[in-house]
Amino acid sequence: MTSKMSPTEIPKSQRWAEEDVLVMLCALNSNVEDIRAEFEADKRVGIAFAADRLSKAVGNGCNPARVRGKMEHLWKEGGPSGGRDVKPIDPLYRFGAWTRTLPSLDAIYPGMLKKIALAGNAQESIKRREETRPARVNDLRRREKDVDDDPIECKCGFVHFASACVHCRSCQTWQHIWCYYDSDLLDAAPDNHTCDQCTTSGLDTRSTTNEKYSSSNDGDSSEPSENLIRALERLQIQSHKNSTFMTKKGTRGAKYATDGSQSRQDTTSGIPDEEELLYGPQDEDVQSVVKTITSFIKTVAYSLDTDDFQFGMPSSKILGDSLDLVEVIQESTFSSCENQTESSSTDNVSFLRMTIGSAIWNWTFYAHSLVPPPDKIQSRYEALFNTYCETPLSHHEIRILRNIHRKAWTTLTVDRPDILKSIIGKEADRLARRLLCLLSSIFRRSADSGDTRPLETAEDWINSTRHGRWRFNLIVELFVSCIKLKDRLPLSGYFYEVFYPTSAESRFMEACPEECDGEIQFCYAPAILQYESNIFQRKENGESAFFGEQNFIRATVAQRAESVVVCPAAVTFR
């Protein structure tokens, strides 16, 4: 495998023509929601994917066929020969559409970020700046309904909603808070925010607050991979089309099915009829979170598939020495480690994606509860809670208690997220270190690396491997995302199962290709199944009013037949 090359070290002969870069990035920008970083593709699929996007570009004055030819040349000359999955070293393709948000792009193509941003915004900006509507207060969240009146015109070049936005005080446009202030918190933006466009046009002077943050956003970074992850975090995880599990200031914990204009205070004051409310994330929100987590797991897996490490399918001896690894593989339903010691790089990455994913999903949703002390001493609050659970209640009383519990949890997660942030962070940190220790059982340093230090502890991974801290932080964020999803799902009142299918039953997974025999090889992401509560809960007591750990179950085959698939499993076939 070829060692990674710094973007600034790429020879000019292997760089794209500036015109081609601008055309391709502008074309990809209009299709940003369809693009995933580091998507798996061979040469044919990869070139066809980019060519299809280029064919949709209009009025750019560049022939897409010429760009396609350039891509084919880069694929042939930009990396080692002999592999169908060989990727070019040019950062444009390696980083995908998000290259234009990274400081390293301007190091190779000076001024490119500005050109991309201006390409789609210049004419509209002039028209809107002639209007005299007053600027809005910056602590208001931008919503989808603002697209026509106040579009996003940010220096990153993206025009879609990404988490929190701030309104320019001089024109009728919005900018991503992250791009200007390196934060997604609404409080990070000053009251007198001014966009770069107004500043350079002389409509306003640059505020000292803007200058304070500009240096951190314009500087080059020593770790391109970390910049990529930061770009992905704000453009995928916190996109308006993704899950509401990442609770932010101003989001609603519940909404009326009949009247979407009702405010959060109206929906949570008093005890409304639970039939009128839709609690918890919607199906498409859950699907988006699962896809994002799966994409980030793939990034972690590829970061391990380098010349720094030596990896092979685990033997029976290795499995015997690692109980965690045995359990993770069993939960993923993968049963063919033996006889695969000679595996390709693609198989290794696929196995890593499956193993890391199984650990993240199963450890988060089905972690073993702590064993109570032998004396079973309880605090007064524990005794009171247990009494709540054991007390017989009428259906009406259960409904009231459930809504009180749901309201309290919604208030905690939406209005007071800092209380949970530290708790979730510590839990995610512990699980991430556990995962690194699991990887120690199947990885060792490559003899060619010249480093003979062992990889036994999490600290070894973090402090003595290339991009170790970045990799660890990404794994922590994966667990944080999974924990937050777990906290949000039970608000709906349903029961859920994280299910790894063992046979190619189409109901539980994405479409099975016609050319395969239907036998599953790797499962990258489990199916999320939803169950009516009465399937598992028969008691009419206080226990049925509370939700949490007990909402995540392991169903039988008969029970699974009554489930609803919220998110299908992502699998590959033999």
Residues facing residue 166 across a β-bridge: 175
Same structural domain, 90 and 191: no
Q: Above pLDDT 90, what percent of the chain?
A: 6
Cα separation, 547 vs 254, in Å, equals 16
Assess whether pLDDT exceeds 70 at residue 287: yes
Cα separation, 116 vs 396, in Å, equals 59
Crossing angle between the packed helical segments 395-414 and 417-440, to the nearest 10 degrees: 80
Question: In the prediction, which pLDDT does 530 show?
Answer: 92
Residue 4 CB neighbours (<10 A) = 17
| CA neighbours closer than 13 Å in the CB half-sphere of residue 130 | 4
Q: 3-state class of 254 per DSSP?
A: strand
The pLDDT-based confidence of 360 (bands split at 50, 70, 90) is: very high
For range 64-85, the mean pLDDT: 46
Residue (of 505, 506, 510, 507) closest to 525 by Cα position: 510
CA distances to 66, 353, 377, 385 from 380, rounded to whole Å, are: 74, 45, 10, 9
Residue (of 545, 551, 535) closest to 487 by Cα position: 551
Q: Looking at 218, 251, 267, which one is the last position of a domain?
A: 218
Question: In the prediction, which pLDDT does 430 show?
Answer: 92
Q: Are 492 and 537 in contact (CB under 8 A)?
A: no
Domain with 205, as residue range(s), is 114-218
Q: 3-state class of 479 per DSSP?
A: helix
Question: In the prediction, which pLDDT does 22 show?
Answer: 54
Residue 233 domain flag: no
Residues 448-504 have pLDDT tens digits of 777 778 788 899 898 888 888 888 988 998 998 898 888 888 877 788 999 998 876
For range 309-315, the mean pLDDT: 73
Residue (of 532, 537, 541, 540) closest to 562 by Cα position: 532
CATH number of the domain residue 196 falls in: 3.30.40.10
The pLDDT-based confidence of 153 (bands split at 50, 70, 90) is: confident
**Lowest mean pLDDT across 175-179, 302-306, 358-362, 464-468:** 175-179
Assess whether pLDDT exceeds 50 at residue 202: yes
Question: In the prediction, which pLDDT does 152 show?
Answer: 73
Among 41-45, 64-68, 325-329, 377-381, the range of highest mean pLDDT? 325-329
Residue 109 domain flag: no
Residue 268 tokens read as 């949570």
Assess whether pLDDT exceeds 90 at residue 127: no
Residue 460 tokens read as 């070894």
Same structural domain, 186 and 252: no
**Exposure class string for 18-31: b at 16+ Cβ within 10 A, else e:** eebbbbbbbbbbbe
Question: In the prediction, which pLDDT does 436 show?
Answer: 92
Same structural domain, 341 and 468: yes
Residues 209-222 have pLDDT tens digits of 344 333 333 333 33
The more confidently predicted of residues 299 and 373 is 299
Residue 132 domain flag: yes
Distance of CA 573 to the CA centre of its chain: 24
Kindly write down the DSSP assignment for every residue of 356-409, as one continuous string: HHHHHHHHHHSPPPPPPPTT----HHHHHHHHHHHSB--HHHHHHHHHHHHHHH
Same structural domain, 497 and 362: yes
Q: Based on the structure, what is the number of domains in the chain?
A: 3
Same structural domain, 53 and 157: no
Among 52-66, 226-240, 263-277, the range of highest mean pLDDT? 52-66
The more confidently predicted of residues 390 and 244 is 390
What region does 60 belong to: left with phi over 0, alpha with psi -120 to 50, or beta? alpha
Same structural domain, 441 and 545: yes
The pLDDT-based confidence of 518 (bands split at 50, 70, 90) is: low
Q: Note the helical H segments in 465-514.
A: 468-488
The more confidently predicted of residues 563 and 490 is 563
Residues 40-50 have pLDDT tens digits of 344 455 555 55
Assess whether pLDDT exceeds 50 at residue 276: no
Question: In the prediction, which pLDDT does 113 show?
Answer: 56
Question: In the prediction, which pLDDT does 107 show?
Answer: 54
Same structural domain, 296 and 202: no
Cα separation, 405 vs 384, in Å, equals 15
Question: In the prediction, which pLDDT does 1 show?
Answer: 37
The more confidently predicted of residues 39 and 486 is 486
Assess whether pLDDT exceeds 80 at residue 365: yes
Q: Looking at 202, 218, 234, which one is the last position of a domain?
A: 218
Read off the pTM.
Answer: 0.52
Residue 232 domain flag: no
Question: In the prediction, which pLDDT does 529 show?
Answer: 93
Cα separation, 268 vs 404, in Å, equals 9
CA distances to 51, 236, 474 from 467, rounded to whole Å, are: 33, 22, 11
Same structural domain, 475 and 540: yes
Cα separation, 201 vs 169, in Å, equals 14
Residue 459 tokens read as 């600290």
Q: Above pLDDT 70, what percent of the chain?
A: 45
**Lowest mean pLDDT across 261-270, 312-321, 346-355, 549-558:** 261-270
The pLDDT-based confidence of 6 (bands split at 50, 70, 90) is: very low
The pLDDT-based confidence of 432 (bands split at 50, 70, 90) is: very high
Residue 56 domain flag: yes
**Lowest mean pLDDT across 144-158, 393-407, 451-465:** 144-158
Same structural domain, 120 and 90: no
Same structural domain, 432 and 551: yes
Question: In the prediction, which pLDDT does 68 show?
Answer: 56
Residue 55 domain flag: yes
Assess whether pLDDT exceeds 50 at residue 92: no
Question: In the prediction, which pLDDT does 454 show?
Answer: 79
Residues 265/267/268/274 CA torsion (nearest 10 deg): 180
Q: Looking at 95, 130, 159, which one is the last position of a domain?
A: 95
Assess whether pLDDT exceeds 60 at residue 231: no
For range 391-404, the mean pLDDT: 74
Same structural domain, 86 and 131: no
For range 8-26, the mean pLDDT: 53
Q: Are 244 and 251 in contact (CB under 8 A)?
A: yes
For range 241-257, the mean pLDDT: 31
Residue (of 298, 248, 299) closest to 484 by Cα position: 248
Q: Are 442 and 326 in contact (CB under 8 A)?
A: no
Residues 6+ apart with CB under 8 A from 447: 310
Question: In the prediction, which pLDDT does 230 show?
Answer: 45
Among 26-40, 237-251, 346-360, the range of highest mean pLDDT? 346-360
Among 78-87, 114-123, 386-395, the range of highest mean pLDDT? 386-395
The pLDDT-based confidence of 65 (bands split at 50, 70, 90) is: low
Do the strands 520-525 and 570-573 form a parallel or antiparallel pair, or are they unpaired? antiparallel
Assess whether pLDDT exceeds 50 at residue 257: no
Residue 33 CB neighbours (<10 A) = 10
Residue (of 503, 487, 557) closest to 529 by Cα position: 557
Residue 228 domain flag: no
Residues 6+ apart with CB under 8 A from 406: 254, 279, 491, 547
Residue 552 domain flag: yes
Question: In the prediction, which pLDDT does 118 show?
Answer: 53
DSSP code, position 164 = -
For range 339-358, the mean pLDDT: 77
Residue (of 31, 30, 66, 71) closest to 48 by Cα position: 71
Same structural domain, 306 and 202: no
Crossing angle between the packed helical segments 18-29 and 64-77, to the nearest 10 degrees: 110
